[in-house]
């Protein structure tokens, strides 16, 4: 069943490369490399790392990388570090550092070590000195514009400037001055002396250090020169003896630089392997763009349930299990692809279907009076807590003369084949009775204010002797027993498949991405809920209790609807 549905979903995906190969334990290409390395004795153990820059919250793309790096270490009995690549003092904050560790743990992984590239600043500096002494790095006082021009273009080789031939002694003295704060920001840079004619632009004497008189979240004011990401990253891997340094495809052209540094410094040879980053349709994943959404108030913070961040997905009701399963199923690709966000929704439905308790809620209530049910009478009807889980037991629902049903479950003038309630029509109230609509009450403006029904006393669920066959089953609540709750319904944040390719991605925001229902009705039991609990509201979808809930006033986020309404919507438009 599962694989069939998956194939259906993957039909819509732009890449189906790895999505249906999992039933047979298929190695991904990185696992193949690792198994070969272990077999040949190139490595005797596996050491990986997840290296975020603490300049934003983690998103679902990072989750893919976390599951891969930690997953490889787990599978091969190795270790995986969390290393903050905190080389840019101006964009990093403790808030991000804390949220990243919390998210990694929430996903279900414990780092072997929590490390910081900034802990290696002294070592990195000393290695830069080694390069300078070897005549492999020089201090360049040209302006950034001059350097850009001198670098040439992919088809035109670069031209050396006069600083390239400065003696190691002179460079050493200048680098020392840079470090001692004798120059203002941007006055000069330290560059590696590699190859100005290389077809790989990253080898045309890349920057290693720039001057920034900035306070760093961990090293404070100790340094006024900061290593470039490319100088810090490879050496940090080497210091940690990372055997398989896994990163995304855009780092392919950087690999030659990392290898050059390792070779010249004669240090532990970490080796880099690149896989395709996770892209989802209807989603932006760049931290810079996500930061704009937060700062410009398009969403209510990094954990707004419409965001693709892990903190937002957690709040919305995604489970770590569903995200791990998703990451596994999309596989590890070598080519760029875009995954249908419906696949992610599929996995959270699968997971919550197994574990979420069923509850009745009526989002947009319509009052029903059962005219042949005695006033003041109530009875309690048994219903299942989770048909997927025999241990979940049952609960009792109050039934009485006045009920609520969904406005959507009634139509005064229904189209053919409408199986819910309409004047003269019959429907079963789930776990209760069959009712027949006998009349409609309206206000002076013509709006329906309540409907009148008769119930069939001998049709009670489980002991139905009425002989009636009805096609529709709807959910309901007893009006005097029901409680009020706020329910937040989310839709995709973007209206277009690839918002990042729009001229202004913010113009593609879906104006209906959030609908707040302040007067939804719920079973009284739902008043007892705590933030983070998952429920299936019968016939409506999966919901999760929001931290905004107050005592007696719960707030629920819709995680996902029961069925993929979006796919149908698209078909309708075509």
Per the CB < 8 A criterion, the answer to whether 237 and 125 are in contact is no
Does the annotation mark 92 as catalytic? no
- Measured from the CB atom, the residue of 78 and 554 that comes closer to ligand ATP is 78
The residue among 53 and 564 lying less far from ligand ATP, judged by its C-beta, is 53
**Residues from 220 through 249 that contact ligand ATP (CB under 6 A):** 247-248
59-67, 391-399, 456-464, 504-512 -> range binding ligand ATP (CB under 6 A): 59-67
Give every CB contact of residue 529 below 8 A, 6+ residues apart in sequence.
535, 545, 549, 554
How far apart, in Å, are the Cα atoms of 39 and each of 31, 35, 36, 45, 66?
12, 6, 5, 11, 25
Number of residues that bind ligand ATP (CB under 6 A): 14
Q: Please, which residue, 289 or 539, has the CB nearer to ligand ATP? A: 289
Place of tokens 């991405």: 513
- Per CB under 6 A, the list member of 19, 62, 397, 558 interacting with ligand ATP is 62
52 binds ligand ATP (CB under 6 A): yes
User: Does residue 53 touch ligand ATP according to CB under 6 A?
Assistant: yes
Could you tell me the CA-to-CA distances from 247 to 95, 186, 234 in Å, in that order?
24, 30, 11
Is residue 311 involved in binding ligand ATP (CB under 6 A)? no
Q: How far apart are CA 477 and CA 479, in angstroms?
A: 6
Residues 231, 293: Cα–Cα separation, whole Å: 31
Residue entry with tokens 């277009």: 496
CB of 87 to ligand ATP, least distance (A): 11
Two tokens at 27?
């190695």
Taking CB atoms within 8 Å and a gap of at least 24, the contacts of 73-77 are: 73/46, 73/47, 73/48, 73/112, 75/31, 76/34, 76/38, 76/45, 76/46, 77/45, 77/46
* 316 near ligand ATP (CB under 6 A): no
To which residue do tokens 């957690």 refer?
314
Residue 499 binding ligand ATP, by CB under 6 A: no
> What is the closest distance, in whole angstroms, from the C-beta atom of residue 286 to ligand ATP in the complex?
4
Q: Which residue is nearest to ligand ATP (CB)?
A: 61
Two tokens at 556?
A: 């629920």
Is 287 marked active-site? yes
Q: Which is nearer to ligand ATP, 55 or 461 (CB)?
A: 55
Catalytic residue of the set 31, 53, 325, 436:
53
- Residues 32-51 touching ligand ATP, rule: CB under 6 A, are 51
- The β-bridge partners of 27 are none
Contact status, residue 137 vs residue 231, Cβ threshold 8 Å? no
Catalytic residue among 83, 193, 287, 358: 287
Closer to ligand ATP by Cβ: residue 248 or 385: 248
Does 344 sit near ligand ATP (CB under 6 A)? Answer: no
Is 367 assigned a catalytic role?
no
Region of 36-44, 61-69, 393-401, 438-446 interacting with ligand ATP (CB under 6 A)? 61-69
**Binders of ligand ATP in range 272-291 (CB under 6 A):** 277-278, 285-287
CB of 245 to ligand ATP, least distance (A): 9
Q: How far is the CB of 84 from ligand ATP (least distance, A)?
A: 9
**Alpha helices (H) in 108-228, listed in sequence order:** 121-133, 144-150, 168-179
Is the Cβ of residue 65 or residue 383 nearer to ligand ATP in the bound state?
65
Q: Decide if residue 334 touches ligand ATP (CB under 6 A).
A: no
- Asked if 328 touches ligand ATP (CB under 6 A), the answer is no
CB of 285 to ligand ATP, least distance (A): 5
The distance of closest approach from Cβ of residue 373 to ligand ATP in the complex, given in angstroms and rounded to an integer, is 57
DSSP string, 513-563: SEEEEEEEEE-GGGGG--TT-EEEETTTEEEEE-TT-BTTB-EEEEEEESS
Please give the structure tokens belonging to residue 190.
Answer: 């330290």
Distance, in Å, from the CA atom of 398 to the CA atom of 124, rounded to the nearest integer, reads 70
Provide the H-helix boundaries in 331-425.
341-355
Work out whether strand 477-478 and strand 394-400 pair parallel, antiparallel, or are unpaired. Answer: unpaired
Q: Which CB atom, from 86 or from 345, has the smaller least distance to ligand ATP?
A: 86
> Please, what is the minimum distance in Å from the beta carbon of residue 115 to ligand ATP?
14
Closer to ligand ATP at the Cβ: 311 or 557? 311
CB closer to ligand ATP, 61 vs 78? 61
Given a contact cutoff of 8 angstroms between Cβ atoms, the answer to whether 325 and 567 are in contact is no
> Are 82 and 100 contacting, i.e. CB atoms less than 8 angstroms apart?
yes
- Residue in 552, 555, 497 with CA at minimum distance from that of residue 531: 555
Residue 78 found at the interface with ligand ATP (CB under 6 A): no
Strand, helix or coil for residue 446: coil
Query: Which residue in 277, 355, 420, 506 is the catalytic one?
Result: 277
Q: Which residue, 292 or 561, is less far from ligand ATP as judged by CB? A: 292
d(CA 111, CA 569): 42
- Applying CB under 6 A, does 61 fall inside the site for ligand ATP? yes
Q: Contact between 217 and ligand ATP (CB under 6 A)?
A: no
Among 64, 255, 460, 475, binds ligand ATP (CB under 6 A): 64
Q: Which residues contact ligand ATP (rule: CB under 6 A)?
A: 51-53, 61-62, 64-65, 247-248, 277-278, 285-287
Q: Which residues are catalytic?
A: 53, 277, 287
């Amino acid at each position: 069943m599962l694989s069939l549905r998956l194939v259906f979903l993957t039909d819509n995906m732009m890449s189906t490369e790895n999505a249906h190969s999992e039933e047979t334990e298929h190695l991904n290409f990185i696992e193949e490399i690792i198994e070969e390395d272990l077999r040949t004795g190139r490595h005797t153990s596996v050491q990986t790392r997840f290296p975020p820059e603490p300049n934003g919250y983690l998103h679902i793309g990072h989750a893919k990388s976390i599951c891969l790096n930690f997953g490889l270490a787990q599978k091969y009995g190795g270790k995986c570090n969390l290393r903050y690549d905190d080389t840019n003092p101006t964009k990093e904050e403790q808030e991000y550092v804390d949220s990243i560790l919390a998210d990694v743990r929430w996903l279900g992984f414990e780092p072997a070590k929590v490390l910081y590239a900034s802990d290696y600043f002294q070592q990195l500096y000393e290695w830069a000195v080694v390069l300078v002494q070897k005549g492999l790095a020089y201090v360049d006082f040209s302006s950034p514009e001059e350097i850009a021009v001198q670098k040439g273009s992919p088809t035109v080789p670069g031209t050396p400037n006069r600083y390239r031939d400065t003696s190691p002694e002179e460079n050493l003295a200048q680098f020392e001055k840079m470090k001692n704060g004798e120059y203002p920001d941007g006055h000069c840079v330290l560059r590696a002396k590699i190859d100005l004619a290389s077809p790989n632009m990253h080898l045309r004497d890349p920057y290693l250090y720039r001057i920034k008189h900035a306070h760093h979240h961990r090293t404070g004011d100790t340094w006024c020169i900061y290593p470039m990401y490319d100088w810090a990253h490879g050496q940090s891997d080497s210091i940690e003896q990372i055997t398989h340094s896994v990163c995304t495809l855009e780092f392919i052209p950087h690999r030659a630089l990392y290898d050059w540094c390792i070779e010249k410094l004669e240090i532990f040879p970490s080796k880099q392997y690149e896989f395709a980053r996770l892209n989802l349709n209807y989603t932006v994943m760049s931290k810079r763009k996500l930061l704009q959404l937060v700062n410009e108030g398009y969403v209510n913070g990094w954990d707004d349930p419409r965001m693709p961040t892990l903190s937002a997905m957690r709040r919305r009701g995604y489970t770590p299990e569903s995200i791990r399963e998703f990451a596994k199923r999309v596989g590890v690709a070598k080519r760029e692809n875009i995954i249908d966000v419906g696949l992610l929704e599929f996995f959270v439905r699968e997971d919550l279907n197994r574990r979420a308790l069923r509850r009745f809620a009526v989002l947009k209530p319509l009052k029903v009076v059962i005219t042949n049910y005695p006033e003041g009478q109530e009875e309690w009807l048994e219903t299942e807590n989770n048909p997927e889980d025999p241990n979940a037991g049952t609960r009792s629902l109050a039934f009485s003369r006045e009920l609520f049903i969904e406005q959507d479950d009634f139509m005064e003038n229904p189209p053919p084949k409408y199986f819910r309630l309409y004047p003269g029509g019959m429907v079963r109230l789930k776990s209760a009775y069959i009712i027949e609509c006998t009349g409609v009450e309206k206000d002076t403006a013509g709006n329906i204010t309540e409907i009148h029904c008769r119930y069939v006393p001998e049709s009670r669920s489980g002991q139905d002797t009425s002989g009636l066959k009805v096609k529709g089953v709807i959910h309901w609540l007893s009006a005097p027993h029901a409680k009020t709750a706020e329910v937040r319904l989310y839709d995709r944040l973007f209206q277009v498949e690839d918002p990042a390719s729009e001229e202004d991605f913010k113009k593609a925001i879906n104006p209906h991405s959030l609908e707040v229902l302040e007067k939804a009705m719920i079973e009284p039991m739902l008043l007892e809920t705590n933030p983070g609990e998952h429920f299936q509201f019968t016939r409506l979808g999966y919901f999760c209790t929001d931290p905004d809930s107050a005592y007696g006033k719960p707030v629920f986020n819709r995680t996902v609807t029961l069925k993929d309404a979006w796919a149908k919507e698209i078909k309708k438009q075509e």
